[in-house]
Structure 1
Amino acid sequence: MQFSHSDAMWQTFPELRAGGLHAEGIHAAADVEASVVSFSSTAAARLAEAPEGEFPEIQAWRRGFSRMGLKPTQYRCASEALLRRFRQEQALPRLHPLVDLCNAISLAFAIPIAVFDTEKIAGDLEVRRAVGDENYLTFGGENEHPELGEVIFADGEGRAHARRWTNRQSGLSAVRETTRSVLIVAEALHASASEDVGRLVATVADALAQHWPVAPKTAMLTSVSPRFEFQA
């Protein structure tokens, strides 16, 4: 399997830095609570100094959403949505150990992290503009068609596994109790994105190895090296 961004995406967003991680051996019995609390504490300390809208990581995504023709306060990147909810409620709901862990790391880094069940992805996964006939399954079970030109995560059968780039994932490839193989993607657009995404990917890999019997494969993606290949 291969994960990549289209050439057009790199041309439009040359500042993009992305990291990929693949792991097999995930299960729903891991106890990640201590790690979640630790990463959440990092986010809480930062939010005590300034709201998430002032973070350079979030401001960069807001500018990116504006360039996509989206109102950034209507459609937020996943990390901003998480930070906003965490600031208001002081906690996030617990969903699955892996999702909880990645959400907490996303809070700590203010960078969106997507987690996909690779068994639900057909062929390769590419971040690209929609042609308008792709299918997107909501978490409520409804089928939608992304708008023409919308940035999506598209697989080989034309199914969209995320809409509006880092705004919302699909219910189709969401992590569940039966999930065993995952692709984790982190993307950023801010000035220090290369360094920060590298640290984030290493942090996720270390955390996974602590809680599951996995040996994650990782990669950093750039316009020069835009593809992450792995066995799934």
Structure 2
Amino acid sequence: MDETRSAIGSDHLLEEARVDADVFALRPDYRALLIVAEGIEPGPSDAESERLLSEAEASARKALESRPVEELPHVAAWREAYRAFGAKPQRTRNSLEALTRRAESGLPRVNRLTDIYNAISVLHQIPLGGEDADRYAGAPRLLRASGDERFDTVAGGEPVEEHPELGEVVWTDDAGVTCRRWNWRQGRRTQLTNETTSALFILDVLAPVDDDALARASEQLLSHLTRLGPSVHTAQRLIAAD
């Protein structure tokens, strides 16, 4: 496994993060860029996050003028990846597809931290998850599920515990699943809140997105994260197959 660390910090979430070989066997082109941002000052949506969301919405509308969502190159690649582990992409859409579809009529306005990463995801056409790093129990790991792992979610407005399907690709920590079906649905336990001051972001990439495109997305994300307080500092790590 080729693992590239940034020179900034050595947070245990990054140092100990893993992607299992079984996942790379499904998609050897898969890369995960993990970014930790600490020292964030929480705040509501603001003029800059509104500007970024509006830019993302316009970008999505332009991209969909000539083709449907499912034919956008990276969306199509993720649909193929979902089929490889038995998921039905027309029923459980990857986060990029779900956000791009929603962008046509308007992305949600949540808080400035969530707004930023949702907008970057749509603008750069990359699935991008954001979670509260302080709520992690151990480091993140991407693996094929045994089916016994716990997933803390909501159904019918009530908290419930579910389990992934056997062989499903999931992000986990020591306490259970943090995101099901690679980048479909995040759990409640590690979700961002209006009090989050330390966040973990995961950018999931398949071909045809190359490393230069991934770098552009991460650079824009970092530039917006660093304006969320005078003490914000970040670290990142790229995990890829040999």
Could you state the TM-score of these two structures normalised by the residue count of structure 1?
Answer: 0.89
Counterpart CA distance in 2 for 1:57 and 1:74 is 18
**Does 1:28 pair with 2:42?**
yes
Q: Which residue, out of 197, 203, 211, partners 2:220?
A: 203
Q: Which residue, out of 111, 114, 126, partners 1:96?
A: 111
The aligned runs of 1:124-143 (5 Å cut-off) are: 124-139=139-154, 140-143=158-161
3-state secondary structure, aligned to 2:199:
strand
3-state secondary structure, aligned to 1:115:
strand
Q: CA deviation at 1:210?
A: 2.7
Distance 1:42 1:211, change over 3 A: farther
Which of structure 1's runs of 4+ aligned residues deviate more than 6 A? none
Q: CA deviation at 1:11?
A: 2.4
**Does 1:145 pair with 2:159?**
no
Q: Which residue, out of 104, 121, 127, partners 1:106?
A: 121
Q: CA deviation at 1:50?
A: 2.6
The aligned runs of 1:1-232 (5 Å cut-off) are: 1=12, 2-29=16-43, 31=46, 32-87=49-104, 90-139=105-154, 140-157=158-175, 159-213=176-230, 214-224=232-242
Structure 1, unaligned stretches of length 5 or more? 225-232
Structure 2, unaligned stretches of length 5 or more? 1-11
Counterpart CA distance in 2 for 1:98 and 1:106 is 13
Render the CA deviation track for 1:98-154: whole Å, top value 9, x for unaligned. 111111111112211011111111011101011222111114421111122211111
Q: CA deviation at 1:10?
A: 1.6
CA contact (8 A) 2:92 2:184 kept: yes
Counterpart CA distance in 2 for 1:27 and 1:171 is 21
Counterpart CA distance in 2 for 1:150 and 1:165 is 8
Distance 1:4 1:40, change over 3 A: farther
3-state secondary structure, aligned to 2:74:
helix
Q: CA deviation at 1:65?
A: 0.6
CA contact (8 A) 1:198 1:220 kept: no
Identity score, percent: 31
Could you state the TM-score of these two structures normalised by the residue count of structure 2?
Answer: 0.85
